[in-house]
Structure 1
Amino acid sequence: MNAITRHGHGIETRIIDAFNFRHATKIFDPDRKVPDAQFVTILEAARLSPTSFGHEPFKILVIQTPEKRELFREFSWGANGMMNGSAGQLGTASHFGIILASTAKTMTAGSDYLQDFYRDVKKLPDDVIEMFNGAYGKFQSTDHNITTDREISDWAGKQAYIVLANMMTTAALMGIDSCPIEGFDMALTSKTLEQHFDIDLDIWKPAVMFGFGYRAKDPEFPKTRRSMKETVSWF
């Protein structure tokens, strides 16, 4: 009997409570910090997240130095409390960061990077590596027609969003707030990452920013969603 079955309805209630608790926190309490052990748990949830073909086409930058955060201020309106004049997530989040997505340089079928990844990380034998090359090559070129630089980096960005979703859910289960942030200038963010963080833009592109911490105040409006009937169709 696994843990979920053993706890029965208790775990189900806890999960739904966590999703109801979670909201896109625009302003965090700057005086409250997420304990190191709990943030490591959030990062471990990210590391263990599923990705297409298990390729892990993402990298997480945790940006804690105030001066480093401020480098993004002028062109990251989504991290400025939605332009309400506050310090926003950049100035108030306990932990702030960016998830990078891989580019075609590494994620094109047959790339040197993937061959090393299959061998050194996944510990696959040569015959299985050959199978992966064929299956992933067909996936890219035929099944999904993901062949251009933009298409491959967008595909990697989808995997980054799976990672962030798991991070936010893990945080919510621990009573920690979060916010996914897409409101930033992609070109200027990329330039800043290259100039100030030594990020190789041939290999990585910014996918999404995030903030974690504790809300400064409760949401002003109740959570609304479409009904289950409107959301799900059974056949």
Structure 2
Amino acid sequence: MQAKKEEILKAHAYRRAIKEFEPEQKIKDEDFEFILEVGRRSPSSFGWEPWKFVVVQNQELRGKLSEPSWGAQKQLASASHFVILLARKGDEMRVGSDYLKYKSQVVDKLPAEIEEMKLKFFKGFMENEFDLTDDRKIFDWACKQVYLPFANMMTAAAQIGIDSCPIEGFDRAKVEEILTEAGVVDTSKLGVAAMVAFGYKKEDSPFPQSRFPMEEVVEWVR
């Protein structure tokens, strides 16, 4: 148990936001499948999994994404694997949508009475408790869910010695326009939440990892 704890903490201490990767060093297929599988198995509120992961390996498309992705200039050019994380938009996440029916009935195989109870509870949660009452609020809530697999994939990568960089530095509208023109994403249903690059760092960071001390982050209420 102690060895496992140390292994996990070592992975978190190892991880940095890598700005440039070694372009010739590629992640093995089985290693990247492992990273994606960790993302796929991540939890989500109500178990809706309101996400999709687009792995952009096409260099021409990466080039087009570079201009509106100011925070991913070097990563797009050098990363072994580049992932765009998508979140579902308002109409997809409202009770009665085809997506929620598909998830409940086909993926989760819920009995009709359980599905009805879950959807009723979710509707109350949206309208009365979390104020998910317009398209933007729903999309922002779905983006929060995306950050669960987002973080898990980076941690999993670090545990097997693969570097990564989380990216929010992009013009969402322009990126979505490029993805639509490429026929990659139906932006009436999905929007870009974040990006993440994976690979092997070109050089070590000259700066040590720094975090607030525990006593400034955690407050116990006993």
TM-score normalised over the length of structure 2? 0.98
Q: In the alignment, what sits opposite 2:203? A: 217
Name the residue aligned to 1:30: 23
Tell me what 1:112 maps to.
98
Say whether residues 1:65 and 2:91 are aligned partners.
no
Distance in 2, matches of 1:178 and 1:114, equals 32
Q: CA separation in 1, counterparts of 2:158 and 2:133?
A: 37
Q: CA RMSD, aligned part only?
A: 0.8
Question: Residue 13 of structure 2: which of 20, 42, 54 is its match?
Answer: 20
**Unpaired runs of at least 5, structure 2:** none
Deviation (angstroms), 1:110? 2.6
Cα deviation, 1:90-121, whole Å, max 9, x if unaligned, reads 01000012011001121012323212220000
Secondary structure of the 2:83 match is strand
The separation in 1 between residues aligned to 2:135 and 2:219, in whole angstroms, is 35
1:101 matched to which residue of 2?
A: 87
Structure 2 partner of 1:172: 158
Q: Supply the distance in 2 between the matched residues of 1:60 and 1:96 (Cα, whole angstroms).
A: 10
1:1-235 equivalences in 2 (<5 Å):
8-80=1-73, 88-235=74-221
In the aligned structure 2, how far is the partner of 1:190 from the partner of 1:65?
Answer: 16
Give the aligned partner of residue 83 of structure 1.
none
> Could you give the per-residue CA deviations for residues 75-95 of structure 1, whole angstroms, max 9, x where no partner exists?
111001xxxxxxx10010000
Cα separation, 2, equivalents of 1:125 and 1:39: 35
Distance 2:70 2:184 in 1: 23
**Any idea what SS the aligned residue of 2:185 has?**
coil
In structure 2, the residue matched to 1:84 is none
- CA distance in structure 2 between the aligned counterparts of 1:163 and 1:125, rounded to whole angstroms: 27
* Per-residue deviation, 1:57: 0.4
CA offset at residue 220 of structure 1? 1.2
- Measured in 2, the distance between the counterparts of 1:110 and 1:229 equals 46
Letter in 1 for 2:94: T
How far the C-alpha of 1:198 sits from its partner, in A, is 3.8
Which AA in structure 1 matches 2:60?
E
Contact 1:177–1:213 under 8 Å retained in 2: yes
Partner of 1:85: none
Secondary structure class of the residue paired with 1:179:
strand
- SS of 2:191's partner is strand
- Kindly report structure 1 stretches of 4+ aligned residues shifted beyond 3 Å: none
- Please give the alpha-carbon distance, in whole angstroms, between the structure 1 residues aligned to 2:186 and 2:162: 32
Corresponding residue SS for 1:187? helix
The CA distance in 2 between the partners of 1:153 and 1:49, in whole Å, is 19
Total equivalences in the alignment: 221
SS where residue 71 of structure 1 aligns?
Answer: helix
